[in-house]
Amino acid sequence: MAAAAAAETSEASTAGLALAEANINWQRLDKTRFHLIGAILFTAQQGALHPTAVVKTRMQVAEGGLSHMSGFSVFRRILRSDGIPGVFRGFGTSAVGALPGRVFALTSLEVSKEMAFKYSEHFDMSEASRIAVANGIAGLVSSIFSSAYFVPLDVICQRLMVQGLPGMATYRGPFDVISKVVRTEGLRGLYRGFGITMLTQSPASALWWSAYGGAQHAIWRSLGYGIDSQKKPSQSELVVVQATAGTIAGACSSIITTPIDTIKTRLQVMDNYGRGRPSVMKTTRVLLEEDGWRGFYRGFGPRFLNMSLWGTSMIVTYELIKRLSVKPE
């Protein structure tokens, strides 16, 4: 959700394309309606993409078999063994648990963005530069707050996703996961992968939005919307261009970030190393021993699909939420 609010950066950057009507800022929104509609639509989006997350997670932690199968084959195998509930393992916990996190992340991002934008008035910067700097600072602040909330939720959901695999524990539900993890490792067990998440999430987000901005700019230019253009694109054109740019950005980001995501996922869910408490170095070493360098791209297909679809649906969903939440004038 933190990344979603950065969509306003892209809107502002297209002001020269006569797209000012797309720039719906924080002051123009009915906050209650915005969070309520956002909770409903983003939960629906999350549910549509959850099966790809389950497949990706299982491929990343499997010690053979699943790790060498295609994503579609793993998906069919889960359906055969567990049915529809199998591909939605952990969704209930993720959906319910993410609701306050989304509000928290969006609010912290928007508040810090407005503060940074106002403070930048004291500097000799163009408006485009001020918007870029303000969004960058806000994204960093929101990332820190979001990670503190979402990493434990991620640990819980991923453990529910992989239960039933060889060597994986079985849980009666999310509270059983919390109980067992805290009993064996203390609260720090719920924050496995927090460091690597903090170190990688901000660069990954920057990469996503950089690719998105570049792709959107190139598409607008190819359609004849230059800086001096006075014509305005239709709403359908706006949605299609943003959706296409989001797809390209998600695809580019997944290629570069999948190895880090694989290490983080295994670090969060695997316990049977027999070498003391797991760490990034131990997890990396075990992954190399199991499958060599190709092991870092386990689950790449589902992750590629997940991030591409996420980028597209996030942009379209976020724009729709904002339009439905504008205060009456």
Report pLDDT digits (tens) over 167-197: 778 888 889 999 999 998 888 888 887 887 7
Q: What is the pLDDT of residue 300?
A: 78
Model pLDDT, residue 230 = 64
For residue 279, give both structure tokens.
């760490």
**Amino acid 182: pLDDT:** 92
Q: Check residue 3 and give its pLDDT.
A: 44
Specify which residues 29 forms β-bridges with: 326
Instruction: Specify the pLDDT at position 17.
Output: 42
Phi/psi region, residue 118 (left: phi>0; alpha: psi -120 to 50; beta: rest), is: alpha
Contacts of 283 (CB under 8 A, 6+ apart): 263, 266, 267, 270
pLDDT at 42: 83
State how far the Cα of 304 lies from the Cα of 3, in Å rounded to an integer.
18
| Res 66: pLDDT | 62
Spans of the chain below 50 pLDDT: 1-22, 273
Residue 271's CB: how many other CB atoms inside 10 A? 17
The pLDDT of residue 227 is 56
Distance from CA of residue 237 to its chain's centroid?
25
59: phi then psi, degrees, rounded to nearest 5: -65, -35
Superfamily of domain 1-11+21-324: Mitochondrial carrier domain (1.50.40.10)
